[in-house]
Amino acid sequence: MTANYRLRQATTALHFPQELGGYRAEAWKPMDGAFRWVKEGEGERIERTDGRPFRQVAFRIAIDYRALPKSYAPFSPFSEGGALVYSGQFHACATAPCEQPGPLPIRISSPGEIVGVEGRRSADRDQFVSRDEGTSIFIGTLKPVDADGFVAIIDPGLPVAAREHLDRSLPQSMQDLAAIYGPLSFKPELYVSIDDEPEKDGRISSQGGTLPRQIFMHFDGEDAKKRMLADSPLWLEWFFAHEAAHLYQQDKSGKLVGDDRFGWMHEGGADAMAALAMVGRGPAERAYVLKRKEEAEKACATGLATTTLSKASAEGKFDLQYQCGLIMWLSIDQDLRRAGKPGLADLNRAMFAAVRSGEQWSQPLFFKLAGELGASPAVMMQIMTLADGNSNDALEALGALGQVANGSLNLN
């Protein structure tokens, strides 16, 4: 593809906030030899070798997947052609420092293909303004899975078992959540792509992620299909159910709820929503959810032996927020059910409504609302201890909560 930058006013350099491990310098070839890439701090810039100002610079770029450090790949190719393009990696500033590039108007031209952006699908071309963290643009000929309430593009090159599984499970996850929380205010887009052409350097990777209103997953490199099947297709189902849960958390509470200091609330909450959505679907799903719960409890215990949950994120042990968080939310679910309430769904609805009306998404809000709904002081105290207590107390609380959580999955 070619990327052609045009500026209203001449500049001596275009600045990019992230250097992406040298990816652009290697893969974005200036079509005019008079340009060069220069690293600057965390970022990089493109400039003319003679230092003179310019109003236009064009690149030839191979549409190839690249696993980037802490950042989404610019291209996720589909096996039969077409790609998901992440606009955020194209954002740039005309002046330094470039920490938060401003909005970028983008025109896409791809004759004979469909351009999917901002919820539209247009033939041959489209344009939009990419802002904030950017968005994924679909360019290709694949047709979306026909479903109410969302758009899914699933690579036909996925192993058949995985594809058939996704065709069933994606609509199911969205329907399950809509039945509990009502429909989303927008139509989310779900993308799964695979490219099992071996990479020159033998790189293999897979990456999943989300952008506003979008969930995506890409499998790349030699044996991508085999690697995908080596894991149960159910993990992909869990991944999408988890990300779909985040869409609900954010849409229904009207803002991003994702404070990593107490990540157990949004990550554990999303995992518990995934677990509860999947557990009733069949014996295989049920066994998978049980296994995830056991593994999470074990990993939480191992982690808490050396740190506390409130320090875990700062120490790079963010996984504990999912693992311990799953047990915390499943146990409050069971506790509320014992009190004759529908469980976690009720607490979620109360949380979303409170945040929408201006309260902070926070631990005190969680405990206040859980208490009002009838949660028992004992279980709430154990969850508090797991969230904020020292290692010994937290481990003891975890043991007790793990038992309660079994009830949520009907395992007692």
If the CB atoms of residues 113 and 267 are measured against Zn ion, the closer one turns out to be: 267
Quote the least distance from Cβ 319 to Zn ion, whole Å.
11
Cα atoms found within 13 Å of the Cα of residue 344, Cβ hemisphere only: 29
Question: 163-192: which residues touch Zn ion (CB under 5 A)?
Answer: none
Q: Which one of the spans 141-149, 196-204, 265-273, 355-363 is the region binding Zn ion (CB under 5 A)?
A: 265-273
Q: Which one of the spans 64-72, 177-185, 269-277, 367-375 is the region binding Zn ion (CB under 5 A)?
A: 269-277
Which whole-number Å values give the CA distances from 299 to 39, 71, 302, 304, in the listed order? 40, 26, 5, 9
If the CB atoms of residues 155 and 267 are measured against Zn ion, the closer one turns out to be: 267
Contact pattern from residue 219 through residue 258 relative to Zn ion, giving x for each residue in contact according to CB under 5 A and a dash for the rest: ----------------------------------------
Quote the least distance from Cβ 366 to Zn ion, whole Å.
17
Q: How close are the terminal C-alpha atoms of the chain, in Å? A: 57
If the CB atoms of residues 379 and 387 are measured against Zn ion, the closer one turns out to be: 387
Question: 2-41: which residues touch Zn ion (CB under 5 A)?
Answer: none
If the CB atoms of residues 5 and 239 are measured against Zn ion, the closer one turns out to be: 239
Whole-angstrom distance, CA of residue 294 vs CA of residue 54: 59
Which tokens sit at 248?
A: 């609900």
If the CB atoms of residues 101 and 188 are measured against Zn ion, the closer one turns out to be: 188
Quote the least distance from Cβ 270 to Zn ion, whole Å.
5
If the CB atoms of residues 121 and 261 are measured against Zn ion, the closer one turns out to be: 261
Q: Which one of the spans 108-116, 196-204, 259-267, 313-321 is the region binding Zn ion (CB under 5 A)?
A: 259-267
Quote the least distance from Cβ 98 to Zn ion, whole Å.
28
Assess contact for 376 and 244: CB atoms under 8 A: no
Measured torsion, CA atoms of residues 122, 123, 129, 131, in degrees rounded to the nearest 10: 70
Assess contact for 379 and 387: CB atoms under 8 A: no
Which residues, in sequence order, are CB contacts of 92 under 8 Å at separation 6+?
A: 5, 14, 15, 16, 98, 101, 104
Question: 270-289: which residues touch Zn ion (CB under 5 A)?
Answer: 270
Which residues, in sequence order, are CB contacts of 339 under 8 Å at separation 6+?
A: 373, 374, 375, 376
Quote the least distance from Cβ 219 to Zn ion, whole Å.
19
If the CB atoms of residues 22 and 258 are measured against Zn ion, the closer one turns out to be: 258
If the CB atoms of residues 270 and 309 are measured against Zn ion, the closer one turns out to be: 270
Q: Which one of the spans 66-74, 196-204, 268-276, 327-335 is the region binding Zn ion (CB under 5 A)?
A: 268-276
Q: Which one of the spans 8-16, 183-191, 266-274, 381-389 is the region binding Zn ion (CB under 5 A)?
A: 266-274
Instruction: Report DSSP state, residue 261.
Output: G
Which tokens sit at 396?
A: 């003891």
Quote the least distance from Cβ 318 to Zn ion, whole Å.
10
* Element of type H or E holding 87: none
Q: Residue 224's closest CA among 162, 169, 165?
A: 162
Assess contact for 242 and 271: CB atoms under 8 A: yes
The residues of the shown chain that bind Zn ion, judged by CB under 5 A, are 267, 270
